[in-house]
Chain A
Amino acid sequence: MRMKGVLLWAMVLAPSAALADDGKSHEQLTAETRALMERYFEVHQANDFTIEEFIKFYHDDLKATYYRPTGIFTFTSAQQYYDTYKPERLTTFDFDYKPWTVSLLMLVDGENAVTRYVAHARTKDGEYHNHYIHMYKVRDGKIVEFHAITNPDSGAHYLRNRKFLTDLGLYKGQDQP
């Protein structure tokens, strides 16, 4: 009777028992990555995150790549990324106005994740609207690889590339609705 019970439980639990190399199932890794990405997104939505809050999400071997109209930029440490990213945010945005995000799609698949969203905020020059897609790889519970493509017009405009884009004829003088 006891053996029959054990067998029944084994049959019920078997589908979720496939384990990855590190002993965690795909479902476990997915759940952990999702929790990490949700916390990460929350912190990035805030204006006043600290270096400690920022860096704790990243692996020591971080490689963050941005595909921008001016070329591909790769940051190879969380500190280097923070040192570029934080001042850029501070000089660009009016932080009395809380940025907000719509159309968020977050997909998580083991230690891979993608977020696609539209961000609305206010810069020191005016309204800011931008489409983003970010793709992540996670290792040991931290982001180890990160790739980002943003709308090349409005994002680049507010990141001080307006003249460059205007010269190229790519800037039409209006923002993404």
Chain B
Amino acid sequence: MKTPTIVKNLAHVSLMAVSAFWVAVATAEASQTEQTRAWTQQYFERLSAADASVSDFWADDIVLFVNNHGPWGGHYGSKASVTQYYRDMASMFDLEKGLTFELLQTVVEGNHSSIRFRVQGQHKSGAYDNHYMQVYTWNEDGKLSRIENFYGWGPFAEFHRQALAKDQARQETPGQARPGTPGQARPGTPRQARPGTPRQAP
């Protein structure tokens, strides 16, 4: 029996409508991903230029998670506390000698993105060369609602090791001993939290 043309046409149209729907869904997801990719790129450009306007990308209710148990680790639950965190971080570097950011890898999917980058510069405790990975969650307005900051602790551990060695050497040299116990953190080193650093529970 021959299928009537109208049935054939209806079948074609139905199939196309279903395909078009799923293609539209996939296209919307791809479009969101590409939008997130563009935001991420713009954000990194400002971050790497140490441009204070980087905070324009932060939502008012942004949460920053810094992944370590050091004094800077934990959750920062407001735009003001995130700003203070970055100010504190910047204060540990000699910015006049330059701070270079090298973007090494980007992964973007939907409203999330993640970047891996290397930072080189002059930390107040010595030459600095470290690797970072950050995960970003973007809201629909193109603002960051969450930043997760992971970085290697090797350089900081090395600074502390050098500081310990210097303390030990001073103690062993008559007349050079400094007050305090060996290995005690000095103000300004990342080991000692600054009073008033605003941090909130998640």
Q: Assuming A135-B114, A137-B105, is B164 touching A176 (CB within 8 A)? A: no
A16 at the binding interface (Cβ < 8 Å): yes
Interface residue B178 (Cβ < 8 Å from any Cβ of A): no
In the assembled complex, the Cα of A84 lies from the Cα of B131 at a distance in Å of 22
Q: Is residue B91 within 8 Å, beta carbon to beta carbon, of the partner chain?
A: no
In whole angstroms, how far apart are the Cα atoms of A112 and B106 in the complex? Answer: 8
A152 touches B164 (CB 8 A): no
Collect the chain A residues with CB atoms within 8 Å of residue B68's CB.
Answer: 151-153
B57 within 8 A of A: no
Answer whether residue B102 sits at the interface, using C-beta atoms and an 8 A cutoff. no
Query: In this complex, which of B73, B108, B153, B154 has the most chain A Cβ atoms within 10 angstroms of its Cβ?
Result: B153
Cα of A149 to Cα of B67 in the assembled complex, Å: 9
* Shortest Cβ distance from residue B10 to the other chain A in the assembled complex, whole angstroms: 14
**Number of residues of chain B lying within 8 A (CB) of chain A:** 41
Could you give, for residues 102-134 of chain A, a 1 whenever the CB lies within 8 Å of some chain B CB and a 0 otherwise? 000101110011101000000000000001010
| A133 x B69 contact (CB < 8 A) | no
A113 to chain B, nearest CB (A): 6
CB distance from B55 to the nearest CB of A (A): 24
Asked if B157 is at the interface (CB within 8 A of a chain A CB), the reply is: yes
Complex Cα distance A74/B153, Å?
16
* Contact between B23 and A71, CB atoms less than 8 A apart: no
Smallest CB gap from B190: residue in A: A170
Q: Answer yes or no: B89 CB below 8 A from chain A CBs.
A: no
- Tell me, in angstroms, the Cα distance from A15 to B31 when the chains sit together: 11
Could you count the A-B residue pairs with CB atoms below 8 Å apart for me: how many are there? Answer: 121
B92: interface (CB < 8 Å): no
Chain B 5-38 interface 0/1 with A at a Cβ cutoff of 8 Å (1 = within): 0000000100010011001001100100100000
What's the minimum C-beta distance from A103 to chain B, rounded to whole angstroms?
10
Q: Are B69 and A135 interface neighbours, CB within 8 A? A: no
Report the Cα distance A153→B108, complex, angstroms. 29
Q: Is B90 an interface residue, CB under 8 A from the partner?
A: no
Q: Does A5 contact B (CB under 8 A)?
A: yes
Q: In the assembled complex, how far is the CB of residue A12 from the closest CB belonging to chain B, in whole angstroms?
A: 5
Complex CA–CA separation, A54 to B7 (angstroms): 54
Partner of A109, one of B67, B70, B108: B108
In the docked arrangement, what's the CA distance between A135 and B116, Å? 8
For residue A112, which residues in chain B have a CB less than 8 angstroms away from its CB? 105-107
Residue A9 lies at the interface, judged by CB distance under 8 Å to chain B: yes
Determine whether A169 belongs to the interface, using a CB cutoff of 8 Å to chain B. Answer: yes
Q: Is B79 an interface residue (CB 8 A)?
A: no
Mark A8-25 against chain B: 1 for CB-CB distance below 8 A, else 0. Answer: 110011011000000000
Report A57-105 residues with CB < 8 Å from chain B CB: 67-72, 105
Given A67-B152, A68-B154, A69-B157, CB of A12 within 8 Å of CB of B23 = yes
> 12 pairs across A/B with beta carbons < 8 Å?
A8-B16, A12-B20, A12-B23, A67-B154, A69-B157, A72-B152, A112-B106, A114-B133, A149-B131, A149-B152, A151-B68, A167-B164
6 tightest CB-CB pairs across the interface, nearest first?
Answer: A67-B152, A153-B69, A152-B153, A69-B153, A107-B109, A114-B114
